[in-house]
Amino acid sequence: MTTATHEETLGFQTEVKQLLHLMIHSLYSNREIFLRELISNAADACDKLRYAALDNDAIFEGDSDLRIEIEHDQDAGTITLRDNGIGMNRDEVIENLGTIARSGTSEFLKQLSGEQQKDAKLIGQFGVGFYSGFIVADDITVRTRKAGTDASDGVEWRSQGEGEFSVADIELERHGTEIVLHLKEDAREFADDFRLKSLVRKYSDHIDVPVRMPKVEKAHDEEGSETTTWETVNEATALWVRPKSEIDDDEYKAFYKHVAHDFSDPLTWSHNKVEGKLEYTSLLYVPGRAPFDLYERDGARGVKLYVQRVFIMDDAEQFLPLYLRFIKGVLDTRDLSLNVSRELLQQDPQVDKIKSALTKRSLDMLKKLAKDDEAYQTFWNTFGSVLKEGPAEDHANREKIAGLLRFSTTHTDSATQDQSLADYIGRMKEGQEKIYYIVADGFNAAKNSPHLEIFRKKGVEVLLLHDRIDEWLMSHLTEFEGKSFVDVAKGELDLGEVEDEEEKKAQEETAKAKEDLVKRVKEALGEAVQEVKVTHRLTDSPACVVLPEHEMGYQMRRIMEAAGQPLPEVKPILELNPEHALVTRLEGADDAAFGDLAHILLDQAIIAEGGHLDDPAAYVKRLNALLSA
């Protein structure tokens, strides 16, 4: 290495400054994770070099024994970590170590406050592991050269984790990356041989690149000079190729943290080797927490892809459907070319077969997890809204996905979504043939809807759907185990055999007796309603509005309109409760008061369903007149 040339000082991106401030001043809860992050980055660099060498093995520069080395100097208070992986050129150093090229960065950092800032797990969740070095170091030097370039193309990056960093050109004989951490006074405990080896075995034992450290005892050559002898500290075998019987739960959990850049344990995992027409090994995990970019269109998703144990790409999203984008893990297959690209993956018929198999494997994994109510509730609270996208995306597995969905229902009257469709069917009334549900903007609006009155009276359970995605979900979920779904706020109400013949006959007689009232209300409301009729849905409320069976509901209409989608006007059906005192009063009202009272009943019914009035002032005026009469 020669004297640095072409040195310049640059400022960090604003988001990096914020992140470094958190690293240096707030994230102390688990400082030791810095080593795990730096080793993982070094292992990725080795994987990338191995892949690049498939087309040109000269890029190894005669050094194909990929490895990671860790040294420490207790007196100087430094830790040095180096790899002989792919390395970086000057532009890549500035891009990778000076900026965070991820969408949603600013929004994510704004969310960090209070106790969250002290949670080191956020480092992994955000996926910026290099900067974790500043938790223990107040000065970091990076020396790197991209494999296949000249020795004069080396780069040195240096920063104290404040507002700027320096970049200089240096001569570097060896390709790869070397990171020197100058430890803070209160972090010098990490410059210890036993401590470092323990951390490697704790966090990085599963990495298939050997992590080496110098032996404590010094060896001597024939001339008596000291030479450094190295020992491999980690297992250095790809975990997924080992027999399941030889892997304990702690090893599976540690490997998940490496693959997912997460510091919390997974909820469950599935490790499988498939032989036959398709040959592949998969190790899939269900995380216990959601990444911050779960709902971003460009968010990272997919499995880590290997072909015959050669790393190909991170985030290979082609092997799982979008609604399972939370699944993390590894796929190692023999059925793809080593030179496969993202574009070629979209055309390879083997990919669809593997995708189908991994999708079923993932759903089976969730079904098994569902046997543990507490663990599955954690999953559902975190990823339930994502899983609800499944019935629209994956028709072949619609029934399986439906079995994994959870809902609030009138059985518990709790906002917690913890009831399955199987639970619902198991509680169905004798003679009940349909699964009833209602969609509303919120839980209380759903629970208190007038449409539920007859169902509570009859003891018939109703699903209370109050997520924004729910109406869209139900448009793609038509039945489960042969039972069709019915929106109780749309179309004609048919309780089937839950109502006896005498009740149905009485309803017909009431409808006939109130024909004059219905006609008079329709004339008073005019074009505001499509139809007026008497109802048996209600026991306590005077009226309700009903939409035609195949019409878009109020919730979905508001979502579409908010997105700028113009929709044709829909006129509701007004249904009156003939037993209610207000309807009786309406029936006896004179012409002057009749129209106002009819409009009040309609407006109240629309409000009760979460609808919006076209003319709220007119409603208030009519109501005030009624109250002061």
Q: Which region among 188-192, 253-257, 299-303, 421-425 has the lowest average model confidence (pLDDT)?
A: 299-303
First CA to last CA across the chain, in angstroms? Answer: 96
pLDDT of residue 116: 46
pLDDT exceeds 80 at position 210: yes
Q: Secondary structure of 356-411 in the HEC alphabet? A: HHHHHHHHHHHHHHCCCHHHHHHHHHHHHHHHCCHHHHCHHHHHHHHHHCCEEECC
pLDDT category of residue 626 using cuts at 50, 70 and 90? confident
Q: Which residues contact 26 (CB under 8 A, 6 or more apart)?
A: 117, 118
pTM to 2 decimals? 0.74
Give the dihedral of Cα atoms 31, 36, 38, 44; nearest 10 deg: -160
215-224 burial code (b ≥16 CB/10 A, e <16): eeeeeeeeee
Mean pLDDT of the 64-89 span: 96
Mean pLDDT of the 617-621 span: 91
Q: Could you give all domains of the chain from N- to C-terminal order, each with its CATH number?
A: 5-232 (3.30.565.10), 239-381 (3.30.230.80), 406-498 (3.40.50.11260), 501-628 (1.20.120.790)
Nearest alpha-carbon partner for 299 in 432, 149, 107, 468 = 107
pLDDT category of residue 102 using cuts at 50, 70 and 90? very low
**Beta bridge mates, 80:** 71, 180
**Beta bridge mates, 220:** 226
Mean pLDDT of the 363-381 span: 97
Q: How far is CA 183 from the centre of its chain?
A: 36
pLDDT of residue 238: 84
C-beta atoms surrounding 201 within 10 Å: 14
Helix locations, 514-565, DSSP H: 515-525, 554-562
Mean pLDDT of the 36-44 span: 88
Q: How far is CA 437 from the centre of its chain?
A: 26
pLDDT exceeds 60 at position 470: yes
| 172 token code pair | 């570097």
Q: Which region among 7-21, 161-175, 184-198, 322-336 has the lowest average model confidence (pLDDT)?
A: 7-21
- Average pLDDT of the residues of the chain: 86
d(CA 587, CA 576): 11
Percent of the chain topping pLDDT 90: 53
pLDDT exceeds 50 at position 473: yes
d(CA 273, CA 269): 14
Number of helices and strands in the chain (H, E): 22, 24
pLDDT exceeds 70 at position 214: yes
Which long-range contacts does 98-102 make (Cβ < 8 Å, 24+ apart)? 98/10, 98/12, 98/13, 98/16, 98/165, 99/12, 99/13, 99/15, 99/16, 100/13, 100/15, 100/16, 100/19, 100/128, 102/127, 102/293
pLDDT exceeds 70 at position 1: no
Q: How far is CA 355 from the centre of its chain?
A: 19
pLDDT of residue 118: 43
Q: Indicate the helix (H) or strand (E) that contains 629.
A: none
pLDDT exceeds 80 at position 19: no
pLDDT exceeds 70 at position 127: no
Nearest alpha-carbon partner for 236 in 199, 197, 210, 198 = 210
d(CA 627, CA 629): 6
d(CA 401, CA 366): 10
Nearest alpha-carbon partner for 68 in 188, 196, 163, 224 = 196
Q: Which residue has the higher pLDDT, 516 or 501?
A: 516
pLDDT exceeds 50 at position 533: yes
